[in-house]
Amino acid sequence: MSRLTVWLHGARPRTLGASLAPVVVGAAAAGHVVPWRVGAALLVGLGLQVGANFANDFHDGVRGVDTTARLGPPRLTSSGMASPRVVLIAALASIAVAGFAGLALALATTVWLLPIGAAAMLALWLYSGGPRPYAGLGLGELAVFVFFGLMATAGTAYVNAETVTAAAWWSSVPMGLLIVAILEANNVRDIPTDSAAGRLTLAVRLGERRARRLYRALVVGAFVAVAAGVVVGLVDEDAGLPMWALLALASWPLAIRPMERVGSAEGRDLIPVLTGTVLLTTGFGALLAFGLWAA
């Protein structure tokens, strides 16, 4: 395996659609787009997600959470493909890219973005790092919903329009739910190894059956949230989503296979649930963004 391939595996490019979709939706919800600010927001999203991937690789590797029994893409630290120090540098460099892009957006809009960005970086690091990683406390899903869903979508809308409309807030909810579903698909797959390592993720705490039900509830909830937003918008167009947002529901076929498979698949057979959920999130986000722009 070439060095480039090794680092691409570590960055997990197949999951990066999860960081792009909320930014695109947020830009569409803004109604007014400043191209360089959208580009900077994309850098923030990508930098934070790649940084999170490398940081988790580093922390889980040095803590011994990742073992040879782990499924999914190879981890750089635990496999020995890269030294912990180099993986740590990659994580910090990715976070720095996000930080500089976020700083530019804060200087162009409001300094209040600085504490929000700092909180996102801290949450990223403490997910699997620090004296008591909160991923093992079952709080990972909440942090992902807030920072990669609500803040990514509404934040992008704000830096473009310098206000956050109801449509932006409504749109951030289904995006957050789908991104949490990606994490839940990953954690359902890792229940055996996380449990053995003493890492009590929400999926481990819920158990196989209820964790799989939670995954389905998150996916269905995203579609329900859009429909609810449109209903509110019919009553008060300034308080909900436009009718065109219903285009997002056309991505439902992408949800069928992952939801069917998550019910009974085990081990490596759960990997397509993760990749399928990323595809669903990307497709859902693209259609929702198009609907918001069309309105």
pLDDT tens, position by position, 209-234: 999 999 999 999 999 999 999 999 99
Across 257-267, average pLDDT: 93
Using pLDDT thresholds of 50, 70 and 90, give the confidence band for residue 70: low
* Cβ-contact 145, 184 below 8 angstroms: no
CA dist., res. 248 & res. 179, Å (int):
15
Which residues, 6 or more positions from 36, have their beta carbon under 8 angstroms from its beta carbon?
none
Q: Which domains does the chain have, with CATH numbers?
A: 3-294 (1.10.600)
pLDDT at 66: 66
pLDDT at 282: 97
Cα pseudo-dihedral 150, 138, 15, 94, rounded to 10:
80
pLDDT at 193: 87
Rounded to the nearest 5 degrees, what angle is found at the Cα of 178, between the Cα atoms of 172 and 181?
A: 140
Which residues, 6 or more positions from 151, have their beta carbon under 8 angstroms from its beta carbon?
116, 120, 172
Single pTM value for the model? 0.95
The answer on pLDDT for 243 being more than 60 is yes
pLDDT at 81: 82
Across 49-55, average pLDDT: 94
